[in-house]
Amino acid sequence: MDQRPLDFFRFGDPKGAEGRGSLESMNEHHRELSEWALSLLPSDLNPRNILDIGCGGGMQLYMLGKMYPKAHLHGADPSKEAVKLASETNVSNIDSGRCRIDMSPVEDLPYPNGSFDLISAFETYFFWKDLDVAFKEIRRVLSPGGRLIVVSEQYPDPNFDKRNAEYAKRTGMKLVKNEEMVSILGKYGLRAELKEVPEKNWVCFIAVKY
């Protein structure tokens, strides 16, 4: 019997009408967070192939497509509801052959080695089953010198511990300390720097595969 909190199936693995409603809400709620994080990427970055892991409702993938109009776009999410909405959000790019959305967990991505020079993960890592397996798989599909951007609107901080504990209880999310995340990324050949907005409890990790 699945022991995860009910809200996990609204946010971590959205299902049904409630899951779709949550995805639609996240498309709007996360826009400011996404704009901030994407502004941190190097100005001379020119990716040819982009993967958004845990693409949810597809808004981040859409924003990446606008930011890099020549790039080919891929989205991956284990939720059938997410794949459906992300496909609707990115329908014009899908129809043109520029974008593809796959139903897939981060631990078993259906792409060849070194397929992507930019991989993003917005508001998703804290729902992954195994960070070690996930980052090993991400490194596999990331090209040499490629970049990974991991973004969260929560990280462990005494000023937000009560709020974050409530979120964790409701959704089953598992936050990782920022220094621990940098260490995990480094273990898998991903040299990371982090950026924070302390007053909002936002964090962004930008890593390069070496």
DSSP-assigned states of every residue in 149-167: EEEES----TTTHHHHHHH
Pairing, β 142-152 against β 202-209 = antiparallel
Q: What's the whole-number average pLDDT of the chain?
A: 94
In a domain, 194, yes or no: yes
SS3 label, residue 108? helix
In a domain, 69, yes or no: yes
How much of the chain exceeds pLDDT 70, in percent? 96
State which residues form the domain around 167. 8-38+46-209
In a domain, 98, yes or no: yes
In a domain, 3, yes or no: no
Residues 99 and 91 sit within 8 Å (Cβ to Cβ): no
What's the total number of domains in the chain?
Answer: 1
The confidence band for 139, taking pLDDT boundaries of 50, 70 and 90, is: very high
In a domain, 202, yes or no: yes
Q: Which CATH number goes with the domain that contains 59? A: 3.40.50.150
The confidence band for 23, taking pLDDT boundaries of 50, 70 and 90, is: confident
Amino acid 2: pLDDT: 58
Average pLDDT over residues 151-165: 97
Tokens of 19: 């899951």
In a domain, 104, yes or no: yes
The confidence band for 16, taking pLDDT boundaries of 50, 70 and 90, is: confident
Amino acid 6: pLDDT: 65
Average pLDDT over residues 30-36: 95
In a domain, 167, yes or no: yes
Q: Would you tell me how many other CB atoms lie within 10 Å of the CB of residue 73? A: 23
Residue pLDDT, tens place only, 178-194: 999 999 999 999 999 99
In a domain, 1, yes or no: no
Average pLDDT over residues 165-172: 92
